[in-house]
Amino acid sequence: MTNKSIYLFGATLLLVTALFSSGYHQFDEHFQILEFAGLKLALAEPNDLAWEYHYQTRAAIQPAIVVLLYSLFSLAKITDPFIIVTFLRLLSGLLSFLSIHLFYKAYRRSIEDILLQKWFLLLSFLLWFAVYNNVRFSSENWSGSIFLIAYSLFFLQKSENRSHYFLIGFLFGLAFLFRYQVGLLIAGFMLWLFCIQKGNLFLSILLSTGIILSITLGLLIDCWYYGDWTLTAWNYF
């Protein structure tokens, strides 16, 4: 198989899986995202929501995406929730596809054997459980995909472009907002960059600034959702 055919087959699998999947993999994919969004769409009451709402431990960025998407679809008179969650799965698959593509580009040159390169690409796209998970609108999937995109962009950049470092930091921050445990990955990466790679201090500050800006955006979204200032990451901790 050529790389082009692997990409095409991988994209087709993600598309078919997104269209024909149903329900949710874990309860929080529904009750802590879609139900949370339902509160802002007047489709749910506070007493209907999981305990995470009352303790303000859930970041509101994913419910906000659902609210935005629902509002956009409503302009076209489309309010069928099954159509909307299908579109969410399509978005998730597209994000995963991009992360796999960039991760492959970042590492293929470190694999000298052409056959192993091919297997790397095949397994990245075609592992059955990866295909299944890659279309889920879950915090794990979105945070993992966004982290991989940021990580890959770091190794793909050919110069110390300031805007690139800022963008990478912003994406790291987004990954953290989707799943707070990713903070451990980000901390490990920053320690590696600063202590092992002896990275440029100014560029490290740019990365950190991007992360801080992203987290600030998350704080504003949480304030909009919960109705007051709250640090959901701290509450979660």
3-class secondary-structure state, position 79: coil
* Percentage of residues of the chain with pLDDT beyond 90: 61
For residue 112, give the DSSP letter: -
> What is the value of pTM for the model shown?
0.91
The two three-digit tokens of residue 16, written as one number: 């078919």
Q: Residue 220 in contact with residue 60, Cβ under 8 Å?
A: no
Region 22-27 average pLDDT: 82
Domain ranges of the chain: 3-236
DSSP string, 43-79: SS-GGGS-HHHHHT-S-SHHHHHHHHHHHHHHHTT--
pLDDT (0 to 100) of residue 180:
94
Q: Residue 194 in contact with residue 204, Cβ under 8 Å?
A: yes
Please report, as a single letter, which amino acid is at residue 157: Q
Residues 182-205 have pLDDT tens digits of 999 999 999 998 888 777 778 888
Region 202-228 average pLDDT: 92
Region 212-216 average pLDDT: 95
How many whole angstroms from its chain centre is CA 72? 21
Region 39-49 average pLDDT: 88
The structure tokens 């970041």 sit at 59
